[in-house]
Amino acid sequence: MNHFKIYQKYMSETEISTIGEFGLIDRLTKDIELKNSSSLRGVGDDCAVMRYPDNDVLVSTDLLVEGVHFDLTYVPLKHLGYKSAVVNFSDIYAMNGTPRQIVVSLGISKRFTVEHIEELYSGLRLACEVYGVDLVGGDTTSSHSGLVISITCIGDASADKIVYRNGAKDTDLICVSGDLGAAYMGLQVLEREKIASAGQRDFTPDFAGKEYLVERQLKPEARKDIIAELDKAGIVPTSMMDVSDGLSSELLHICRQSKVGCRVYEDRIPIDYQTAVMAEELNMNLVTAAMNGGEDYELLFTVPLHYHDKVSQLPGVKVIGHITKESLGCAMITRDGGEMTIVAQGWNHMKPEESES
């Protein structure tokens, strides 16, 4: 992460057209070994084959489009591969499940070489290694405009452990893992340095004191550890989601689907020091950033009130509020004791100001 690198073709690199689609797939997948007993057959046939005799099967999918979800000016391809996989694992953990397989489709424009795609794949494969997931298939094709990444993740969970969004009950405690807003601030740092780099071929950005923010944006992790902690503590949440669009948006999803309201406390929202410093530098409201920033990939969940002591002791988990009756609506209790209605302002890739090229 020390350089901004303009992705370009070097003489020594291999044009994808010289080895073709099948050659590329062979090269990317040739030494993949399947780790999970549920993975029976991986890359190389019309379908991947899996076996899930005991557990329920979870499936989640994400589509990432260059220029909308990522900017290759400052996102290294290896990090992009890692993140693309991890955000899908996060959806499986958010159901209290375990990710087991992914299939990866790539749309690749002509400016990418075989080496570029190998770099992307090295990130995908690292994520699979770290989280114990098998890459079992995919599709590779050309694109007329940049890079498109579509990942579907398959996981499993025993039927009595799956946690949906709609199980939150009045008086349940609302908990969140880690801290919020840092990934969003990391994006602001990267965008600022992009402007400073002004298209220079080789530019060393200034991330001093912002390393954590940049890392949260470029290399997020899924909270496998929290799922393990909950399991160890014998806690099955009543509802759960991962925080991808921002806490406000996710709280509203849980409340709407559970037909409940909520109160969260401003002074309980977990925020890292670097996030606070950056918000001040940018003259942004810190809590707004933490509530609406998105891409945190932390876990938001609810547990029955009687778990208060147990859940409070979990490392990296904070109780931020409680569920109420639906009629009370969704609100944040501010530091001065006031109530502010929670409105979703999360990342919305459909927002009108986006322009089409």
The one among 1, 32, 65, 284 contacting its own copies by CB under 8 A: 65
- To the nearest whole angstrom, how small is the minimum distance from the Cβ of residue 34 to its own copies? 13
Distance separating alpha carbons of residues 305 and 23, to the nearest angstrom: 56
Distance separating alpha carbons of residues 47 and 153, to the nearest angstrom: 14
Give yes or no for residue 160 binding its own copies (CB under 8 A).
no
Near its own copies in 92-151, by CB under 8 A: 92, 94-95, 97, 101, 103, 105-111, 136-146, 148, 150
- To the nearest whole angstrom, how small is the minimum distance from the Cβ of residue 62 to its own copies? 5
Distance separating alpha carbons of residues 301 and 243, to the nearest angstrom: 10
The one among 73, 122, 152, 171 contacting its own copies by CB under 8 A: 152
Three-state DSSP state, 108: strand
Distance separating alpha carbons of residues 206 and 213, to the nearest angstrom: 12
With CA atoms as reference, report the closest residue to 276 among 342, 196, 340, 180.
180
Near its own copies in 321-340, by CB under 8 A: none
Distance separating alpha carbons of residues 157 and 274, to the nearest angstrom: 36
Nearer Cβ to its own copies, position 2 or 357?
Answer: 357
Give yes or no for residue 343 binding its own copies (CB under 8 A).
no
What's the gap between Cα 227 and its chain centre?
A: 15
Hey, what amino acid is at 50?
Answer: M
Give yes or no for residue 91 binding its own copies (CB under 8 A).
yes
Near its own copies in 172-211, by CB under 8 A: none
Nearer Cβ to its own copies, position 104 or 286?
Answer: 104
Element (H, E) at 24: helix 16-29
Nearer Cβ to its own copies, position 61 or 171?
Answer: 61
Distance separating alpha carbons of residues 196 and 204, to the nearest angstrom: 10
Near its own copies in 31-60, by CB under 8 A: 40-41, 44-54, 56-60
Q: Which range of residues in 89-97, 177-185, 267-275, 311-319 is near its own copies by CB under 8 A?
A: 89-97
Go through the chain and tell me how many residues it has: 357
Hey, what amino acid is at 280?
Answer: E
- To the nearest whole angstrom, how small is the minimum distance from the Cβ of residue 309 to its own copies? 28
Do strands 330-333 and 173-177 pair parallel, antiparallel, or not at all (unpaired)?
A: unpaired
Nearer Cβ to its own copies, position 107 or 321?
Answer: 107
Residue 174 phi/psi, 5-degree rounding, is: -100, 125
The one among 11, 198, 208, 350 contacting its own copies by CB under 8 A: 350
Per-residue mark of binding to its own copies, 241-270 (x: CB under 8 A)? xx--------------x-------------
Distance separating alpha carbons of residues 173 and 318, to the nearest angstrom: 10
Give yes or no for residue 30 binding its own copies (CB under 8 A).
no
Count of residues near its own copies by CB under 8 A: 80
DSSP letter string, 255-311: HHHHTEEEEEEGGGS---HHHHHHHHHTT--HHHHHHH------EEEEE-GGGHHHH
The one among 158, 312, 334, 348 contacting its own copies by CB under 8 A: 348
Give yes or no for residue 15 binding its own copies (CB under 8 A).
yes
Near its own copies in 284-323, by CB under 8 A: none
Near its own copies in 205-244, by CB under 8 A: 240-242
The one among 159, 195, 198, 208 contacting its own copies by CB under 8 A: 159
The one among 29, 36, 69, 78 contacting its own copies by CB under 8 A: 69
Structure tokens at 51: 């076996």
Evaluate whether 72 touches 83 at the Cβ level (below 8 Å).
no
Nearer Cβ to its own copies, position 3 or 256?
Answer: 256
